[in-house]
């Protein structure tokens, strides 16, 4: 049987006949590429994930208990100094590094390039997100006279553009040798009727497999080996889209070292019980995050004796993990969740369709899906206005406009 016949059989088996019709209309070279891709992709896995989207999966699973966090603002001055010194020594000894997860699609922002290359209207010339993150690192490391390794996770889709951007901007003055790019894994996108999307390059559209892909991506790309060879013991992992993220916080690091936990995360206090954010918890005796829809009304409103919400530590994607914990999680299988996103595709007349509404599922695992493989966790609650201002949407909440406002207020920059 020829490769083409093989591919057609596979497409028929998984009800992807629209691709067979598209195959007949494209030229030989494109046909060949598409056929190879069809033969490579695990269609069984994608169809299973698609079938799961039809089930109600938002029921709480496992035994949920609250997790105690420590409020940074309530730690005594002496204790802050002690923790800070512990953290600073570790940084100076080169045992600390930073990972930025920048493999997302940024569909809600509606910007076609990598999100880190988005320019905010800050100051006279404007500032790119990657520029702000670089400044944060440089400012912190100035004190120690050296720069740590900075691992940047990209996707296959945005890897070249990301590297090119850093090259063109001379790494914003960061030591180029210390910046390591690595690409994460990908999975096909599928529309709401269970049909794979074909892109205008006549290939099945695939996208990164969620920020939970960071563990396997670090391992596969030999970044964990690199960390170990360089004596790095703990890494701070964050997203690309929070321009207030404090990537080098010696107090946070010192606390993690002193408590000797495999993972510590930063949180902010939930604004009100119904705020739609994931919060830290203990699930089946293991660290985890419980999502807003999983919390019962009673849990959402429950308060402790000090009047604080028991499930009130919101996740801001600021996690500090031991390198051996990363390595351990990389050997585990994480769950996938379906996110509904807007993704362009070509129809059977080979015309590109740009959807105005979310039309397709992207399957993602989340970084916190890996936490259940660890025994314990420390949570440090910090102030929202000092460390959290994400850029998710084009307008409104968590948009460039809100991020600019918070950033400028903090840094005393006139708007």
Is residue 240 involved in binding ligand UTP (CB under 6 A)? Answer: yes
In whole angstroms, the minimum distance from the beta carbon of 176 to ligand UTP comes to: 22
How many C-beta atoms lie closer than 10 Å to residue 350's C-beta?
A: 12
Pairing of strands 234-239, 313-322: antiparallel
User: Of 114 and 262, which has the nearer Cβ to ligand UTP?
Assistant: 114
| Strand pairing report for 279-283 and 179-183 | unpaired
Site mask for ligand UTP (CB under 6 A), range 252-291, x = bound: ----------------------------------------
x/- map, 136-155, ligand UTP, by CB under 6 A: -----------------x--
* Listed ranges 58-66, 105-113, 223-231, 345-353: which one lies at the site for ligand UTP (CB under 6 A): 105-113
Residue 360 binds to ligand UTP (criterion: CB under 6 A) = no
Q: Which range binds ligand UTP by CB under 6 A, 102-110, 174-182, 294-302, 397-405?
A: 102-110
Q: Tell me which stretch binds ligand UTP (CB under 6 A): 89-97, 103-111, 161-169, 193-201.
A: 103-111
Comparing CB distances to ligand UTP, the nearer of 83 and 279 is 279
Q: Pick from 107, 136, 269, 402: which binds ligand UTP (CB under 6 A)?
A: 107
Q: Cβ 260 to ligand UTP, closest distance in Å? A: 28
Min separation Cβ 122 and ligand UTP, Å: 19
Unique residue bearing structure tokens 């396997």: 216
Number of residues binding to ligand UTP, judged by CB under 6 A: 23
**Interacting residues with ligand UTP between 313 and 352 (CB under 6 A):** 341
- Nearest approach, Cβ of 111 to ligand UTP (angstroms)? 10
Strand pairing category for 263-269 and 186-188: unpaired
102 binds ligand UTP (CB under 6 A): yes
**Helix pair angle (17-25, 3-13), 10° resolution:** 150
Indicate whether 370 belongs to the interface with ligand UTP (CB under 6 A).
no
Answer for which of 104, 287, 370, 400 binds ligand UTP (CB under 6 A) is 104
Shortest CA distance to 379 belongs to which of 236, 247, 252, 250?
252
Q: Which of 134, 159, 211, 267 binds ligand UTP (CB under 6 A)?
A: 211
Per CB under 6 A, which region of 238-246, 258-266, 306-314, 353-361 contacts ligand UTP? 238-246
Q: Is 237 in the site for ligand UTP (CB under 6 A)?
A: no
Site string for ligand UTP, 169-208 (x = CB under 6 A): ---------------x-----------------------x
Token reading at 3:
């490769």
* Whether 85 contacts 258, CB under 8 Å: no
The C-alpha atoms of residue 271 and residue 377 are separated, in whole angstroms, by: 23
| Residue ranges that bind ligand UTP, judged by CB under 6 A | 101-109, 115, 153, 184, 208-211, 213, 239-241, 341, 364, 392
């Amino acid at each position: 049987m020829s490769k083409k016949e093989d591919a057609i059989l596979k497409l028929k088996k998984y009800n992807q006949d629209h691709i067979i019709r598209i195959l007949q209309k494209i030229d030989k070279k494109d046909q060949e590429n598409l056929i190879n891709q069809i033969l490579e992709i695990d269609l069984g896995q994608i169809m299973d994930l698609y079938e799961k989207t039809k089930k109600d999966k938002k029921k709480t699973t496992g035994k949920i208990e609250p997790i105690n966090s420590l409020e940074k603002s309530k730690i005594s001055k002496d204790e802050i100094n002690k923790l800070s010194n512990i953290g600073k020594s570790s940084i100076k000894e080169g045992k600390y590094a930073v990972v930025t997860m920048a493999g997302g699609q940024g569909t809600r922002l509606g910007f076609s390039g990598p999100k880190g290359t988005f320019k905010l209207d800050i100051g006279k010339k404007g500032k790119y997100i990657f520029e702000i993150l670089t400044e944060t690192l440089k400012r912190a490391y100035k004190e120690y006279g050296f720069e740590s390794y900075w691992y940047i996770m990209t996707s296959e889709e945005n890897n070249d553009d990301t590297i090119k951007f850093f090259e063109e901007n001379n790494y914003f003055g960061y030591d180029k040798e210390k910046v390591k790019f690595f690409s994460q894994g990908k999975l096909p996108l599928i529309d709401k009727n269970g049909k794979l999307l074909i892109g205008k390059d006549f290939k099945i559209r695939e996208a990164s497999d969620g920020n939970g892909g960071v563990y396997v991506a670090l391992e596969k790309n030999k970044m964990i080996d690199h960390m170990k060879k360089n004596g790095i013991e703990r890494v701070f992992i964050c997203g690309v889209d929070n321009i207030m993220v404090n990537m080098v916080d010696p107090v946070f690091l010192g606390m993690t070292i002193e408590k000797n936990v495999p993972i510590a995360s930063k949180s902010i206090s939930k604004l009100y019980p119904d705020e739609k954010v994931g919060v830290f918890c203990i699930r089946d005796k293991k660290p985890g995050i419980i999502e807003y829809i999983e919390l019962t009304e009673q849990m959402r409103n429950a308060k402790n004796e000090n009047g604080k919400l028991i499930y009130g530590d919101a996740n801001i994607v600021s996690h500090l993990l031991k390198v051996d914990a990363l390595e351990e999680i990389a050997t585990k299988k994480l769950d996938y969740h379906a996110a509904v996103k807007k993704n362009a595709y070509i129809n059977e007349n080979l015309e590109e369709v740009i959807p105005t509404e979310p039309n397709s599922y992207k399957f993602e695992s989340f970084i916190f899906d890996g936490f259940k493989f660890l025994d314990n966790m420390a949570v440090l609650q910090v102030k929202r206005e000092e460390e959290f201002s994400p850029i998710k949407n084009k307008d409104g909440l968590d948009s460039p406009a809100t991020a600019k406002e918070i950033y400028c207020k903090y840094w005393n920059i006139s708007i």
